[in-house]
Amino acid sequence: MLTLLTTFDLQKDVISHISTKDDPARRIKAEVDARILNVEKDGGVLYSWKGSTGNTRIGKYDPSTKQNKLLYTFDKEVLVSSCSVNKEETLLAVSLSQDAKAEDRLQSVSKCKTLLIEICPQNNIKVLKAVDCRIRVQFLDPETEKKNVRESHLLLLAEDGYVEQFHIFLVKQEGYRVVIQNPERLVKDRVAEDFTWVQWDVEAQRLFYLTSREKSMLRCVQFYPDCNFETLFELPLELPASLFSSVRFTNLGYDHYNDEVWEDGGGKLLVFTSRTGNMCVCYSHPVQASGDFAYTVAFVHRGYSKTFSVSIQGDTPPRARDLLFLSLDYYIVVYLAGHFLHFINSRQQDLPCHSLFLSGGDARLGQLGPSSEVLTLPDATLLDVRSGTMCRVGISHSALLDLLCQSRLDAQRLACLHCMLVYMSPDPEVELKIIHWICENVMALENFDQIQEFILASLYRMVYQQSLSLDKVLPYSSVLERKDLPVCLKEIPGVKCSSELLCEPVFRGKPRHFKGYWEELRWNMEKMKYFEAVPNPRYRTSLIQADWSRLLAQMNSEEKKPANSFRHIEENTKKVLSMVDTWRLDKKVVPLFQEEDQQQRALIGLMVDKLREHLNRHLLSLGKKKIDTLVVNYVAKLLELVRNMLETVWLKYELGPHVLSFKQKGGRNEWAVFHVMSRILEATKGLCLPLPPGYHTLLSVLGVRCLPRHTFLQYVDHGLLQLTETFVSRLMTDLDNSDDNEKLKFSILKRLPESREQKLFQLWDHPISSACISRKYVQGLLAKHAKTKGSVFREREKSCFQPQFLPLIYLTKILSDMESQVLNPFEEQEHVDARFVEETALKQTLILLGLEDK
């Protein structure tokens, strides 16, 4: 499920280089015992090895140039437990462990000696510490605009539970030699005391540490570009008793001589932060007697934690140290080799079904197994200290697609769908395969609608990145619309989950220092308090159903509609459609956005109105202008998303312009497209989402071609198909007047309101339509001129003696007389006059007498 991209291989990148430089090592490669010591902020890997003469050397591998550089050579073999080099590579800090069997001049009675070495060029050595506890060293690497830096700052972290910062000032001699100024008078500060666990964040230059006097307290020290520091954050934690059997160092390199021994017992704890203001504290629990394995993820930015307890099968219980935590920004990955792989959604934790849990054979992490000693590094990177490899971790598209297609668990399928659509960057190939999967599984799944999930998750990914505050107010899953959620979406088989509120963290320091990440974290926590206090902060698409029903009733009413009530809705629609029409005009496959669909236009405008109102209520700080832009973008991308789905479906089934013809019956491909389009209609209707204008016309055309006539009419009666003006107009003109087609046309006309029926009679060349036009013409003319009865009677007396069909002559004469006196109610229709009425009446009479065919 996870992919490992190797970014560093000790054997290929370092040992092969050493072998070519050191002749004896080349002949006996087994003697090259290179070990990774630390990884600096620039990605440089520090390592040590024993040279051909038996002395220890320290080098650095630069990933950008793929070059190795020798930093320092000791005169004898030493045990390097910690190492760091400053940004300018002029100073090297080394912590040495004492080997009881070794006898050299560096050895002392202390168990650990910390050295500060000038390496530009190799020169003086200063002993910083000589103590009986482990020491870790780490140079600060602040972001600075200064080109010539004349100072370095070094952290010393002692197993005795304290952290010191040394300020080292440098001078240049003889134009190239960089030496320490006043090496005997180095200034130092005490940064932290009494910690039991410490973690270095090399990217953000932060130090997290844990104290456990009366209660476990997580603190964070922020180092600034001027290398001043300040404790900005404190969080009380309810940690398991005896979580650590000894002091733990995290992200501070690896001590090959001590770490494996010291860390064999106890648990694991890591802190993950992201630039979006998220903070997750992950820790394991002692293995329970029942065999259950528990771990907790505290979502500090959300204000609560979740503890998961997994039932472990097997005779040998796993060790807590074997648990691996990893941050993939949107997910916290928890991995226990040979047992499970858990992707925990760090942004949407409402339901377990939006996280992915795998066990058994599916729970694999590349080639890493139970025997690997793996460290978690920043930027989703893992370091296997035993094999000497560094890998960047990613999620496999192909594995997710396979699981989506093969899994029989709806919760897994839902999690896979969200992972591909929300977490991963937009990939047209992946989106294409998901749509193909939807086509092959077009009916709604038992516990969720995959089309609704595709639409909402895709829209969420497109829009929330524009403003992180939208994270809590935009819909991202259709299952939240359901009143009764299935149990399978609320629980993970074999996994127990419990939630607890976190103690409120304390932000210390000066307000002006809360910038960047800390500002985002505080904002997230404040918004969470607000969202928990107000009802329904997340927009639910179904909430506009009542407004849409009222608006639809007004539109279908024969009464005159007030123009003002629809004006602002139409303005919203124009904004949306103006954006849609500018996208991919040259690649349109499906004929959408080419007609006036009044119902869909009204729904588009209504959705803009309601979504804008919701965001203005909860996120007014964004500003009305930005909110208006976000809302219009959201609805425009919804329409574009539906069009992209249709284009993919049409290309998949190789449909062309011929599908728009009424004269041919639809084949298998047309039926498949009709089925998919019907499901899209059902899915969007369930969420009260608009469709692109022209969608209903296209669906009705396919319905006529694919369905039996009586079934088609049933679809119309149940509201599944709509008789749009464009559809009915084309049907009347394109289909001939055969008996079956005539029945269909009459059936459709019966289902239309009278106002639309009269317009369609003008398009249909049929005696019945001519009769209806004439009848309406006469009715309108007579109704408007009832006051002209006197002149009508006089004309009647003159026409009674004509040797023709008297009733018809009488009516024709009346109409002709009125036409010369009044405004013709059908003046916009050519060829409708008294003569037209006379010809229609005669033709109808001959048809009724059987003297002429229709």
Say what the pLDDT of residue 498 is: 93
DSSP 131-184: ESS-EEEEE-------SS--EEEEEEEETTTEEEEEEEEEEEETTTEEEESSGG
Say what the pLDDT of residue 807 is: 57
Asked which of 590-594, 608-612, 614-618, 666-670 is least confident by mean pLDDT, the reply is 590-594
CA pair distance 456, 637, nearest whole angstrom: 11
Say what the pLDDT of residue 679 is: 95
Say what the pLDDT of residue 727 is: 87
Say what the pLDDT of residue 392 is: 93
Q: How far is CA 619 from CA 467, 527, 529, 641, in A?
A: 11, 10, 14, 25
How many CB atoms within 10 Å of residue 28? 10
Cβ proximity of 88 and 34 under 8 Å: no
Look up residue 168 and give its two tokens. 């080292």
Mean pLDDT of 198-226: 92
Mean pLDDT of 392-415: 92
3-state secondary structure of 415: helix
How many CB atoms within 10 Å of residue 546? 10
Mean pLDDT value across the chain = 83
Give strand pairing partners of 325: 334
At 286-300, the pLDDT tens digits run 887 777 899 999 999
Of the candidates 108, 103, 58, 104, the one whose C-alpha atom is nearest the C-alpha of residue 81 is 58
Say what the pLDDT of residue 607 is: 95
Q: Which residues of 84-95 are buried (b: 16+ CB within 10 A; e: fewer)?
A: bbbbeebbbbbb
At 706-717, the pLDDT tens digits run 999 999 999 999
Between 6 and 832, name the one with better pLDDT: 6
Say what the pLDDT of residue 836 is: 61
User: Exposed, middle or buried by CB within 10 Å (0-12, 13-18, 19+), for 114?
Assistant: buried
At 550-576, the pLDDT tens digits run 888 888 776 666 666 688 899 999 999
3-state secondary structure of 484: coil
- Strands 248-250, 195-201: parallel, antiparallel or unpaired by DSSP? parallel
Between 796 and 239, name the one with better pLDDT: 239
Could you tell me which residues come within 8 angstroms of residue 436 by beta carbon, excluding any fewer than 6 positions away?
Answer: 648, 652
Say what the pLDDT of residue 800 is: 39
Between 84 and 767, name the one with better pLDDT: 84
Asked which of 515-524, 540-549, 802-811 is least confident by mean pLDDT, the reply is 802-811
At 746-770, the pLDDT tens digits run 888 888 776 665 665 566 665 566 6
Number of H helices, E strands in the chain: 22, 32
Say what the pLDDT of residue 553 is: 86
The strand order across the sheet containing 229-236 reads 248-250, 195-201, 206-212, 216-223, 229-236, 506-507
pLDDT band at 101 (very low <50, low <70, confident <90, very high): low
Say what the pLDDT of residue 591 is: 78
Provide the 8-state DSSP code for 541.
Answer: G
Of the candidates 326, 331, 327, 328, the one whose C-alpha atom is nearest the C-alpha of residue 347 is 331
Look up residue 850 and give its two tokens. 């059987």
pLDDT at 100 exceeding the cut of 60: no
Mean pLDDT of 94-99: 86
Between 491 and 542, name the one with better pLDDT: 491
CA pair distance 130, 750, nearest whole angstrom: 99
Mean pLDDT of 102-128: 78
DSSP 457-476: HHHHHHHHTT-GGGGGTS--
Cβ proximity of 171 and 183 under 8 Å: no
CA pair distance 262, 244, nearest whole angstrom: 10
First to last CA, the chain: 70
Mean pLDDT of 116-128: 90
Mean pLDDT of 147-165: 90
pLDDT at 588 exceeding the cut of 70: no
3-state secondary structure of 786: helix
Cβ proximity of 106 and 96 under 8 Å: yes
pLDDT band at 685 (very low <50, low <70, confident <90, very high): very high
pLDDT at 829 exceeding the cut of 60: no
At 355-371, the pLDDT tens digits run 999 988 788 887 776 66
Please tell me which of 11-25, 254-268, 611-625 the model is most confident about, judged by mean pLDDT: 611-625
Q: Which amino acid is at 376?
A: T
Of the candidates 218, 226, 220, 223, the one whose C-alpha atom is nearest the C-alpha of residue 296 is 218
Say what the pLDDT of residue 842 is: 58
Say what the pLDDT of residue 580 is: 83
Helix (H), strand (E), coil (C) string for 35-72? EEEEECCCCCEEEEEECCCCCEEEEEEECCCCEEEEEE
At 335-394, the pLDDT tens digits run 998 889 999 999 888 889 999 999 887 888 877 766 678 889 988 999 998 889 999 999
Say what the pLDDT of residue 147 is: 64
pLDDT at 549 exceeding the cut of 50: yes
Strands (E), 415-501: 495-501
